[in-house]
Amino acid sequence: MNTSIRLAFNNFISIYQGLSREIWVLSVVSLINRIGAMVIPFLSIYLADAKGFTLAEIGWVMSSFGVGSLIGSWLGGKLTDKFGFYPIIIFSLFTSGIGLILLKELDTFYEICGGFFLVTLFTDILRPPIFVAIRQYSSEKNRTKSITLIRLAINLGFSAGPATGGLLIATWGYTSLFWVDGVSCILALLIFVLAIQPKKKMVEENDDSLEENKKSQSPYRDFPYLLFILSMVFFGVIFMQYFSTVPLFYKEVHELNEAVIGLLLSSNGFVIFLLEMPLIHWVEKQKKYSTMQIMMSSIVLVLLSYILLIVGHDLWVLFIGMMLLTLGEMLMFPLSNAEAMSRASGKYQGDYMALYTIAFSISHLVGHNLGMQSVNIFGYNYTWTFMIAGLLLCIVLLQLFQFSKKREELSQTAK
């Protein structure tokens, strides 16, 4: 029995081998940065209790938060293409760290709207350069696995953040959140600077060639890629419902209490942390199905989870639905990220990865409110039906993307 456990453990550890030291450092930086993002889960409570804001005012603050994320992602891509990923990561971690500490000094509605807009902008500038850094410090063979490791670090940080934040509020009050968030960004910055030095040689080795750099085009003129991004926007909007309208559905329709709802939602993060890397390791080893086929299968899994929301009446059915969503998420996000990264080459790498992150910024900005309004007007079952239709549209868009890619490859071969 001990030998079997040891063998299973060694096999599990072997999955993480072969990744560069820089990728591990980037994952630690992402972990610390996301643990520090503990203001976010408590933002609405802080604004209501500590600042006395109305629900309408809180809504506008959250909107400024979303707009900052959108512009920050776009700006991060532009700056990365101009200056490289290394200085932009440093700039983002430093400015967001200082900004978070200063947020505690803001009091009025307009000050807080402006403050959260700027801090979110500085924070989300980090996204495109991190993706470009992953491309530079990973090989094509282990790129998806490198992305998955960063995702695991981020998910672990988001899981630990709220618990840490709750303890800080109970012990030292809301002000401590801003201090810890800001200091964590500075700590992540120090680790990054001390552990990673920019290497020009690696950029040259990982970029396909100077010829490709000349032929590269802006992602905003890359029609197949725009189809791919549109598919990701729809997928993101529908995925977000599981963390906004679906919990409300659990409470109002199934009459589940907060503890059970919390367990259902936390099962998503726990399963991702435990199984995503082994799952991606298996996907990379098998050659039977293409990346695009697996991505479409992941959409089908999420679609099935929404069907269970319509037909299911028992808790175990809701749990299966959550697991289907989780499995779809574990496949879709690393593979779609790797697909975007494979498309990003030459001098527009930052723009490509910015557009990918913008897709999910739009999903955050639109998805939560859209779902709530749909439930308010049409009810839950019709809303889930709309989501199923949206997922079918995602599949159609991915098929069009694949078709456009093949036509593009044929035309290049003909030349």
Phi and psi (nearest 5°) for 379?
90, 170
Question: Between residues 299 and 20, which one has the greater pLDDT?
Answer: 299
- Percent of the chain predicted with pLDDT > 90: 34
Question: Between residues 39 and 297, which one has the greater pLDDT?
Answer: 297
The residue type of 148 is: T
- Average of per-residue pLDDT across 55-64: 78
The residue type of 5 is: I
Q: Is the pLDDT of residue 229 over 80?
A: yes
Query: What residues contact residue 180 under an 8 Å CB cut-off, 6+ apart?
Result: 36, 38, 164, 168
Q: Is the pLDDT of residue 212 over 70?
A: no
Query: What is the band of 414 on the pLDDT scale with cuts at 50, 70, 90?
Result: low
Q: What is the CA radius of gyration of the chain?
A: 22
Q: Is the pLDDT of residue 204 over 60?
A: no
The reported pLDDT for the residue numbered 308 is 96
- pTM exceeds cut of 0.75: yes
The reported pLDDT for the residue numbered 172 is 86
In the numeric block, the tokens 């929301």 are attached to 309
- Average of per-residue pLDDT across 290-307: 94
Q: Is the pLDDT of residue 394 over 90?
A: yes
Query: What is the band of 214 on the pLDDT scale with cuts at 50, 70, 90?
Result: very low
Cα–Cα dist 185/156, whole Å: 16
Mean pLDDT, the chain, integer: 84
CB 337 within 8 A of CB 143: no
The reported pLDDT for the residue numbered 299 is 97
Cα–Cα dist 226/221, whole Å: 8
The reported pLDDT for the residue numbered 281 is 82
Secondary structure letter of residue 289 according to DSSP: S
Q: Is the pLDDT of residue 37 over 50?
A: yes
Helices (H), 137-285: 143-172, 175-195, 200-206, 210-215, 223-240, 245-252, 258-285
For 309-351, write each residue's pLDDT tens digit.
999 888 999 999 999 999 999 999 999 988 988 887 667 888 8
For 121-165, write each residue's pLDDT tens digit.
998 899 889 988 988 888 877 888 888 888 888 877 776 776 777
The reported pLDDT for the residue numbered 330 is 93
For 240-284, write each residue's pLDDT tens digit.
888 778 888 888 888 888 778 878 877 887 888 888 888 888 887
Highest-scoring range by mean pLDDT, 30-44, 163-177, 227-241: 227-241
Rounded (5°) CA angle 340-39-25: 45
Cα–Cα dist 345/211, whole Å: 11
